[in-house]
Structure 1
Amino acid sequence: MSPIKLAIVGVGKIVRDQHLPAIAGNGNFELIATASRHGTVDGVPAYSSIEAMLEAVPAIDAVSLCMPPQYRYDAARKALDAGKHVFLEKPPGATLSEVQDLIRLADSKGLSLFASWHSRYAPAVEATRAFLAGAAIRSVEIIWKEDVRHWHPNQEWIWQAGGLGVFDPGINALSIMTHILPNPVFLTGAELTFPENRDAPIAASLAFRDQAGLAVNAEFDWRQTGKQTWDIRAETDKGLMVLESGGSKLTIDGREQLNAADDEYPSLYRRFAEIISAGRSDTDLAPLTHVADAFMLGKRRVTEAFHD
């Protein structure tokens, strides 16, 4: 089969760090165009808007949308209306209702829509899921703390309504949680901490449980300096399980089970090619649903102003 002719919309840091290397290493795709207000890719035709790109390059088969979530819905509709398969960076949108509308539109047109959750493809996630499937889980603790100044310097969109704030990284933890736990969980309480000068939270404490009463607690914080923490810990009848480093390392009772290099974005593009070939979509909205529940149920706390 000939490669899928791919376009990228929104050429920023995540595209340069992750998407471009993953696409270059996947023979199923050929990058033939980009659309971005500022960024370009050497040797690839560039356009200032998705409308101009779709008009000028009708050969595009699929589009990866990598702009901030507040602007993704309109671009996704334009791509789907033009008959293109769509890859949505995480989170897939700013609201559940707009993503649900995209799901309906893609289905009506027979196109593939991919709500990508890159952390689910971290190397130790599947091994963790298999371990928990065979264990009695007593409690789960999620600690996801990082330095926003390091990972998102001068990015104003993340602090605006719809930018999610600390849930931008926190949704990665929720995407893993919803994949590895044997039973669904639901939110029972939340506390969201907002800087007095921002519209999105800088920290969050979340409490979940499942239908059997299993407690899952999560702490997200964007103010951590030094060593970054992206861990999920589960007390089980087979010992303490720790999924560390964002899903790269698994230990059980202190014994290392798996520790592998990152393969998240190459895995995402393999999956995108797979669903296009199969004529289906992959649009799990569970992680975004938990974020929406947190904003609905969470108590609001105000802290000192944040400045980059």
Structure 2
Amino acid sequence: MKVALVGIGKIAVDQHVPAITNSPDWELAATVSRHGSVDGVEAFTDLGELLETRPEIRVISLCLPPVPRFAYAMQALQAGRHVMLEKPPGATLAECHALEAAAKAAGLTLYATWHSREADMVPAAKAWLADKVLKKLTVTWKEDVRRWHPGQDWIWEPGGLGVFDPGINALSIVTEILPHDIHVTDAVLEVPENRQTPIAAQIGFHHPQGADVSATFDWRQDGDQIWEIEAITDGGTLRLSGGGAQMEIDGQPSGEAAALDGEYPRLYDRMSALVQKGGSDVDLRPMTLVADAYTLGRRDTVAAFHEDG
């Protein structure tokens, strides 16, 4: 299938282009971007022009920041194209519901992707937790924003999510592996005095079986990056680390440690299957938790953040 990639930034170049190029199911047929391009691929600066001149491209994959994404997605759906959304699927939940309704009405595929769910050990963690009683779950997601999001000022503006841009990855795993849904009960959001979105957050959750569930997100991490989820149950303790690439049960490794380079290929495999069977996949639970954290969260002003330190 021919696919057009819209938004040629860091995530597109690092993840989407290799995943498409190495897939037997896909051909990168065009790009749309004001600033970026891919060697050997026809480049457009306007989505409308691509939709008009390349009707054989049936799938549009959007890698734009969240705020402008809705307009592009709706334009593609209204032109009869299937749409794949980078996480988070939009700037607001209402936007996502509108896109889902439009795709359903047109009989098109809409896929709200969560790449961290495709980490190697996430399915194994889900299977292990399925018959356990959860007592405590702790999420610790700490990374260096300068390392992973250099120069991406949009992330600090309204709709950019701030530390929830990586934090939503953790929540996408949690909502996938837990047998029961959780919801936010309290949150503290640490917002730099010169920014609009938080640089750190602490969140508490309600669990229907009474488990103690909490998350700590921080973008000021020096040294080793930490992406961990620990679940204490009646049957032992599970620990996911490396963003879901490694798993331990009671301190013992379970399976081989894996790299995260399989996440995006699996997303495109899933999109291929959805298009072929005429289905959609729009799970908004991770985004709902983030929205509720913003609604309930107390804002604490912290020191200014500057890209150059």
Q: Please give the range of the TM-score, normalised by the shorter of the 2 chains.
A: over 0.9
1:261 counterpart = 2:259: yes
Per the TM alignment, residue 238 of structure 1 is displaced from its structure 2 partner at its CA by 2.2
1:55 counterpart = 2:52: yes
1:206 counterpart = 2:182: no
| Letter paired with 1:54 | L
- TM-score under structure 1 length normalisation: 0.98
| Letter paired with 1:7 | A
Aligned partners of 1:240 and 1:184: how far apart in 2? Answer: 20
Per the TM alignment, residue 5 of structure 1 is displaced from its structure 2 partner at its CA by 1.1
Specify which of 166, 169, 182 is matched with residue 166 of structure 2: 169
Aligned partners of 1:15 and 1:295: how far apart in 2? Answer: 28
Deviations 1:134-166 (A, max 9, x none): 222110000000000000111100000000000
Residue 33 of structure 2 is matched in structure 1 by 36
Per the TM alignment, residue 124 of structure 1 is displaced from its structure 2 partner at its CA by 0.3
Deviations 1:77-118 (A, max 9, x none): 110011000000000000000010000000000000000000
Residue 183 of structure 1 is matched in structure 2 by 180
Aligned partners of 1:50 and 1:30: how far apart in 2? Answer: 18
Aligned partners of 1:193 and 1:68: how far apart in 2? Answer: 22
| Letter paired with 1:206 | I
1:251 counterpart = 2:248: yes
| Letter paired with 1:248 | A
Residue 278 of structure 1 is matched in structure 2 by 277
Deviations 1:152-202 (A, max 9, x none): 111100000000000000000000000000100011100001000101100
| Letter paired with 1:196 | E
Tell me the SS of whatever aligns to 1:72: helix
Aligned partners of 2:153 and 2:258: how far apart in 1? Answer: 33
Specify which of 104, 110, 115 is matched with residue 112 of structure 2: 115
| Letter paired with 1:280 | G
Deviations 1:246-279 (A, max 9, x none): 0000001110002223210000000000000110
Assess if the C-alpha contact under 8 Å between 2:66 and 2:91 holds in 1: yes
| Letter paired with 1:225 | D
Residue 297 of structure 2 is matched in structure 1 by 298
1:25 counterpart = 2:22: yes
Residue 287 of structure 1 is matched in structure 2 by 286
| Letter paired with 1:261 | A
Tell me the SS of whatever aligns to 2:88: coil
Alignment gaps of 5+ in structure 1 = none
Residue 225 of structure 1 is matched in structure 2 by 222
Residue 126 of structure 1 is matched in structure 2 by 123
Aligned partners of 1:209 and 1:131: how far apart in 2? Answer: 21
Aligned partners of 1:9 and 1:111: how far apart in 2? Answer: 18
Q: Which runs of 4+ in 1 moved over 3 A?
A: none
Aligned partners of 1:215 and 1:237: how far apart in 2? Answer: 13
- TM-score under structure 2 length normalisation: 0.97
Specify which of 8, 14, 24 is matched with residue 11 of structure 1: 8
How many pairs align? 305
Aligned sequence identity (%): 52
Aligned partners of 2:217 and 2:9: how far apart in 1? Answer: 25
Tell me the SS of whatever aligns to 2:254: strand
Aligned partners of 1:95 and 1:23: how far apart in 2? Answer: 28
Aligned partners of 2:14 and 2:297: how far apart in 1? Answer: 33
* Greater Cα offset, 219-228 or 256-265: 256-265
Aligned partners of 2:237 and 2:29: how far apart in 1? Answer: 48
| Letter paired with 2:81 | K
1:99 counterpart = 2:96: yes
Per the TM alignment, residue 237 of structure 1 is displaced from its structure 2 partner at its CA by 2.0
